[in-house]
Amino acid sequence: MDEQRKLGEQLIDHFDATDGGTGKLSPELDTWIQSSPENKKTFRDMLRIWRGANYLAKSREFDTQSAWQDVDRQISGRQRKKQQVYSLVFALSGMAATLLIVIGLQFYFSIFSGNPVSLAASTAYGSRTEITLPDGTAVHMNAGSSISYQRNASNRQRQVLFSGEGFFDVAKSNQPFVITTGDGMKLKVLGTKFNLQAYPGDAINQTALIEGKVELQVEGGHTLTLLPGQTASFEKNGKTLNLVQSEMAQVLSWMENKLYMDNMPLGEVCKRLERWYDVRIEIQDKMLSGSIHYSGVLNEETIIDVLDALCALSEIQYTMKGKNIIITKK
């Protein structure tokens, strides 16, 4: 695979330097192409993709502002949808199916140059999903999350817009992997594992590092470097970054459909349940939101099971009509 990746990089350099592959081949590439009919076909297919991608990319510039508007629309809609993945890679995939086998998806995506090409995916409230980005990065996405990915050939960065909660297993590369959230926080990594919680409606974002190293930066130049086992809290109002205590098992419990509550107020519990189960919860007496706290682990199958458990632990009761839930004091 290393030899294939090296070959792919040589072909990219050739296409880029010779205005679409019309120039003279290096002796090494020429020998490879002439060595078999399959290699000749692969080269022709790649050349067609390169030219087609450059043509399409001219009409598809990546606009950060409009991308965030798309992310916001996906979050605020709260409608159950099928996972959406848009990429010019897939639009062109029929042109050279064998290329995926020979070089792999990582190289296949990297042949695009000029204006960046984006890929987007989202999860509705009440659902979770796992996706693999074109560079090989695996992302577990919690309910109500959206991601937009691009590989920018001009500055050699893997750039991501993210909203919601996700666990990232970033593929190692010499190209930085940079995540930007809608509130102005940036995370920069090369290859690592971490959990990012960055819902638009929350007052605080949290980043918990499992493996590797993460550099966080916010508007104003404040930076913080995380080491494995550390968690950073970003307070949106004050634009401040701080180290906080957390248990990694609890941070990642959402991937096992568990909710760890460590003196968690009722209001926060209900906010998470709304995302997890795609429901709307109204606490009729607002004083209950902060006066009732829970400690323990919720690992129930349905929203009714969860609500019954909460009622057994405190002086509350609920009524439910469809997806609308009203909580009152007993």
Q: Is 90 exceeded by the pLDDT of residue 58?
A: no
Residue 25: is it exposed, middle or buried by C-beta count within 10 angstroms (0-12/13-18/19+)? middle
Residue 196 CB: number of other CB atoms within 10 A?
A: 27
- Indicate if 154 and 243 belong to the same structural domain: yes
Q: Is 90 exceeded by the pLDDT of residue 318?
A: yes
- Indicate if 94 and 243 belong to the same structural domain: yes
Q: Is 90 exceeded by the pLDDT of residue 14?
A: no
Backbone angles phi, psi at 8, to 5 degrees: -60, -45
Of 208, 226, 249, the last residue of a domain is 249
Tokens 């609920």 -> residue:
318
- Indicate if 11 and 119 belong to the same structural domain: no
- Indicate if 103 and 130 belong to the same structural domain: yes
Q: Are 274 and 125 in contact (CB under 8 A)?
A: yes
Split at pLDDT 50, 70, 90, the class of 61 is very low
Q: Are 148 and 118 in contact (CB under 8 A)?
A: yes
- Indicate if 289 and 239 belong to the same structural domain: no
Summarised one tens digit per residue, pLDDT across range 190-215 is: 789 999 999 988 999 999 999 999 99
- Indicate if 159 and 188 belong to the same structural domain: yes
Residues 6+ apart with CB under 8 A from 306: 273, 277, 298, 300
Of 196, 222, 249, the last residue of a domain is 249
Split at pLDDT 50, 70, 90, the class of 51 is low
Alpha helix stretches (DSSP H) within the chain: 2-17, 27-34, 37-57, 64-77, 88-92, 97-102, 105-110, 248-251, 266-277, 287-291, 303-313
- Indicate if 116 and 195 belong to the same structural domain: yes
Flag whether the pTM goes above 0.75.
Answer: no
Query: How many domains are contained in the chain?
Result: 3
Split at pLDDT 50, 70, 90, the class of 34 is confident
Residue 160's domain is classified under what CATH number? 2.60.120.1440
- Indicate if 122 and 12 belong to the same structural domain: no
- Indicate if 90 and 224 belong to the same structural domain: yes
Q: Which percentage of the chain shows pLDDT scores above 90?
A: 37
| Domain of 7, in residue numbers | 2-57
- pLDDT higher at 127 or 19: 127
Backbone angles phi, psi at 263, to 5 degrees: 55, 40
Q: Provide mean pLDDT across the span 210-222.
A: 87
- Indicate if 307 and 292 belong to the same structural domain: yes
- Crossing angle for the helix pair 266-277 and 303-313, nearest 10 degrees? 170
- Indicate if 74 and 144 belong to the same structural domain: yes
Q: Which percentage of the chain shows pLDDT scores above 70?
A: 69
Following DSSP, what letter does each residue of 98-166 receive, concatenated? HHHHHT-HHHHHHT--SS--EEEEEE-TT--EEEE-TTS-EEEE-TTEEEEEEEETTTTEEEEEEEEEE
Of 228, 249, 270, the last residue of a domain is 249
Split at pLDDT 50, 70, 90, the class of 89 is very low
Split at pLDDT 50, 70, 90, the class of 219 is confident
Q: Is 80 exceeded by the pLDDT of residue 103?
A: no
Residues 6+ apart with CB under 8 A from 32: 7, 39
Q: Which amino acid, 227?
A: L
What is the C-alpha to C-alpha distance for residues 255 and 41, in angstroms, rounded to an integer?
A: 44
Q: Are 243 and 231 in contact (CB under 8 A)?
A: yes
Q: Is 50 exceeded by the pLDDT of residue 284?
A: yes
- Indicate if 241 and 276 belong to the same structural domain: no
Phi-psi region of 287 (alpha: psi -120 to 50; beta: other; left: phi over 0): alpha
In total, the chain counts a number of residues equal to 330
Residue 266's domain is classified under what CATH number? 3.55.50.30
Output the average pLDDT for the chain. Answer: 77
Backbone angles phi, psi at 160, to 5 degrees: -135, 135
